[in-house]
Amino acid sequence: MSNQPFVFNFIEKLNYKRILMNNTNPLELIGRLNISKKGNSSTSPKVLILTKKMDIESDLLGIQCLKNGIDYVKITEEDIPLNFHFEFKIGKFNDSMLHLGKRKFNIDEIKIILFRYFDPKFLNYYSGGVYQMYLAQQWYQAFNCLPIALDAIWINNPQRTLESENRLNQLLSAQRLGFSIPETLITNEMEAAKKFFKRFPKSTIVKVLHHHEIFLNQKSYRFLTNNIETSHLSKFNELTYAPVIFQKKIENDSEIRVTVINDKTFSCRISTTKEKRNFSDLHKIKEKELIFSEISLDKKIEKLCIKLNRKLGLLVSSIDFVQGKNGELLFLEINPIGDWNWIEKHTNLPITKSMFDFVNDLLNKKEVHGS
């Protein structure tokens, strides 16, 4: 038995070092143009965005905020630990303050928090060992203080986000609501995997249980959905090291992405050229070879998407479906972060506008009620 997990052939996608060096967000650009307040001034942002530096969706939303006179602050994973500091004072006088670079702000004015690509458990500052473990543990607990200290609406709530990312929770919740799902097995047990493959010897695929992308030392590594072949059986004992998802592959020529923003849905069919249609994962196909089509879903499916969102405690998400040869939609997964820029680039779906309108409406309601 080897010491590596089953079929864990990472694909190095990109080296992000140069991209991150050149990447900037709207607030940094305004600062460079000297059209914002002084860098060391105390400001009162109403919107806080927690994400990674390279997140185009958060920047698109930030631009809409600035255009409409709404101040916001964006804290990224890359800001920790050197560029971000905080104070939670408890005693005779309770008070809280956040610092980002030279900018400091009182959290009392923050009404909306957009929680996207941000997980302190995976912060990577030290090269490893006890220092790295200590850093991750301390910052994980520090950010658990934010929901306690801030009287704000989260999009989405961090705890609900983590719970909804759980694949078993997703599939069972979708199934109980009435969605059809593919036959699925989540396991690290060799014999169970062999039995599943025996049931579907020509149509078994394998997926990761967590996210299919890992960032390490400014590089991106991916493990995408793969077809299982008979030759893989000899390596099934490697499942011991890390569980995976086995699923019956549904023969199809497209997938459907539904973006849910509160009570609105935006649906897009994603297909590709005829010679590439037998794909195991859309991420293996270059974006320029994909075909994006706006579609109208059955009203029953739309209502179920919104209902699933609410059942999982989410306000915003994206939901992926595959359509079988008989036309039936089968639920694949829900993503509480829900990237939409790649959909919006190729369609007329007004997702960014709808997202801003939702944030702005929540902000106005907060201010009207004085909380």
Q: CA angle at residue 103 from 86 to 30, to 5 degrees?
A: 140
CA distance 170 to 343: 23
What is residue 39's predicted lDDT score, i.e. its pLDDT? 44
Taken in order of first residue, the domains within the chain and their CATH numbers are 1-15+183-249 (3.30.1490), 37-155 (3.40.50), 156-182+251-358 (3.30.470.20)
What is residue 265's predicted lDDT score, i.e. its pLDDT? 97
Give tens-digit pLDDT for 256-280: 999 999 999 999 999 876 555 555 5
What is residue 25's predicted lDDT score, i.e. its pLDDT? 67
CA distance 331 to 11: 26
What is residue 272's predicted lDDT score, i.e. its pLDDT? 79
Q: Which residue has the higher pLDDT, 22 or 183?
A: 183
Give tens-digit pLDDT for 167-226: 999 999 999 999 999 999 999 999 999 999 999 999 999 998 876 666 666 667 777 788
Nearest to 86 by CA among 73, 97, 71: 97
Give tens-digit pLDDT for 27-54: 666 655 454 544 445 568 999 999 988 8
Structure tokens at 188: 């690290």
What is residue 38's predicted lDDT score, i.e. its pLDDT? 45
Nearest to 153 by CA among 98, 113, 109, 96: 113
CA distance 297 to 321: 11
Give tens-digit pLDDT for 96-154: 999 999 888 888 889 999 999 888 777 888 877 899 889 989 999 999 999 999 989 99
Query: To the nearest whole number, what is the mean pLDDT of the chain?
Result: 85
Q: Give the list of residues 6+ apart from residue 136 with CB closer than 8 angstroms, or none.
A: 120, 121, 122, 123
Could you count the other beta carbons within 10 Å of the beta carbon of residue 331? Answer: 24
Mean per-residue pLDDT, 288-305:
92
Does 7 have pLDDT greater than 80?
A: no
CA–CA distance from 350 to each of 11, 197, 343, 344, 354 (Å)?
Answer: 33, 42, 10, 7, 6
Q: What is the DSSP string of 204-243?
A: EEEE-SS-SEEEETTEEEE---EE--GGGGGGGGGGGGS-
Q: Which residue has the higher pLDDT, 209 or 245?
A: 245
